[in-house]
Amino acid sequence: MKGMILMPHYNAYDSFKTKKSIEKKQRAKEKSFGKKSETLDNFIIDSCNEYGVVIEVRYDDAYIFYNREVILAKLRKDINLVCNQVVFPGDKVDLEKVKDGYVIKHLLNRTSMLSRIKKDSTRLNDVGLTKNISSNVDLAVIVVAAKEPPLHPKFIDRYLMILQNSNIPAMICLNKCDLKTEEDEEILSTYRNLGIDVIETSTYGNIGIDELKSRLINKQAIFVGNSGVGKSSLTNAIMGDEEIKTSHVSNKSKRGRHTTTTSKYYVWEDNSSIIDTPGIRSLDVSTFNPTEIQDYFPEFENWRDKCKYSDCLHFNEPCDSCIVKQGVASGLISPERYESYLRIMSDVLGKKHYENILSEVVPDFKKTVDINFDVKLP
């Protein structure tokens, strides 16, 4: 048929049926949420006399740290939703003892929620799905490695955006610091100059572990980062045991294997806890407003208001009208950070070939190793 392109291995009728099925399920879900909205409102409270903390969530129940022991609890029966849609690691919950165990009676109001967008892997659309990771986080530790996997500042920049957007304070932890290079030190210096706390650790030599503990004391902290950087190893070092399964990096891909598969909560001191998250290989920030991306690059602040155009995005605009580009060209703004900004803007705007913009601003700039930020998780 003229104008119709049939994709290989793609059945239009099956796709139509699948799409209708998804739409039907979505309508039913929305209807269910609508009916239960009042119940959920009553489910959330400001305070209670005694609460437990969710440490791990499964489909229909959750493990909760309560009165210095771990118990298993289900949602109360009038909440017609599965457990992993309602509570997440770090949540504080009001519990009720029943005949056959415990019931989550109420959820206490959250101070924060860390979530990320996960692209839909189906062919039907490219909609981003919000995946909640943990709540009530006091401090996020972005764990990176000096080697295996190598240090990629572009991931750090995306983490910093997501955390700032969630109003969660962040720090950077360079693990495997005994393998650090001069280039790694230059990268870390960029973030130190931005006022971001940076710490260096090595679990093999027990380097920096006490300093890391001092940052985490009396906080509910979360470790985030790529697979293989050593988040679980750091958690082991802080916990003082080897109960958490750890993994080595694949020699073939130089990427870490996923060892932690769900977010888990560990208490290591009174009022001090760690949420260890699964390693991820992609961070999608395409849902951010393009006009707000520059807000996450504080080094632009003293330059951007001087651009010729008030709505300048420091992207396609000519160099002679964009003062931010002039700051990059003069070396007063980090070219590496500007490259990261261009990559993110390219994702948000759906435009490619950001390299052309970068080469116009910094002709001799050596582009960093290309990273596919949209790699799907296994």
pLDDT tens per residue, range 37-93: 556 778 999 999 999 999 888 888 999 999 888 999 999 988 878 888 899 989 999
The arithmetic mean of pLDDT across residues 324-337, rounded, is 94
Which residues of the chain form CATH 1.10.40.50?
A: 290-361
From 37-41, 139-143, 306-310, the region with the lowest mean pLDDT: 37-41
Q: How many CB atoms lie within 10 A of CB 62?
A: 26
Q: Would you state the pLDDT for residue 56?
A: 87
- Model confidence at 252, pLDDT cuts 50, 70, 90, reads very low
CATH 3.40.50.300 fits 113-276, yes or no: yes
Q: Where in the chain is the domain with CATH 2.40.50.140?
A: 32-108
Query: CB–CB of 337/325 below 8 Å?
Result: no
Which of 26-30, 196-200, 230-234 has the lowest average pLDDT? 26-30
Q: How do beta strands 69-75 and 92-98 pair?
A: unpaired
The CATH class of 32-108 is: mainly beta
Q: Please, is 244 exposed, middle or buried when counting C-beta atoms within 10 Å of its C-beta (0-12, 13-18, 19+)?
A: middle
Matching residue, tokens 């002039």: 326
State residue 8's pLDDT score.
34
Percentage above 90 pLDDT, the chain: 50
Euclidean distance between CA atoms 343 and 341, whole angstroms: 5
The pLDDT of residue 373 is: 39
CB 218 within 8 A of CB 272: yes
Where are the CATH 3.40.50.300 domain residues in the chain? Answer: 113-276
Looking at residues 120-146, what average pLDDT do you find?
A: 74
Topology of domain 290-361 in CATH is Ribonucleotide Reductase Protein R1; domain 1 (1.10.40)
**Which residue has tokens 């073939």?**
252
Nearest to 169 by CA among 95, 112, 129, 217: 112
Global pTM value: 0.78
Question: Is 70 exceeded by the pLDDT of residue 177?
Answer: yes
Strands 113-119 and 128-135: antiparallel
Mean pLDDT to the nearest integer, 132-147 = 92
Show Cβ contacts of residue 128 under 8 Å, excluding neighbours closer than 6 positions. 117, 118, 119, 120, 284, 286, 287
Residue 116 — pLDDT band, cuts 50, 70, 90?
confident
Single-letter amino acid code for the residue at 92: K
> Is residue 333 over pLDDT 60?
yes
Q: Is the pLDDT of residue 200 over 70?
A: yes
pLDDT at 250: 35
d(CA 348, CA 377): 21
For 186, list phi and psi in degrees, rounded to 5. Answer: -65, -40
Alpha-carbon 366 to chain mean position: 28
Give the pLDDT confidence score for residue 211 in this predicted structure: 96
Q: Lowest mean pLDDT of 156-170, 244-258, 346-360, name the range.
A: 244-258
Give the pLDDT confidence score for residue 64 in this predicted structure: 92
Q: Give the burial string for 147-180 (b: 16+ CB within 10 Å, else e).
A: bbbbbbbbbbbbbbbbbeebebebbbbbbbbebb
Per-residue pLDDT tens digits for 217-233? 999 999 998 888 888 89
Neighbours of 103 (CB within 10 A): 17
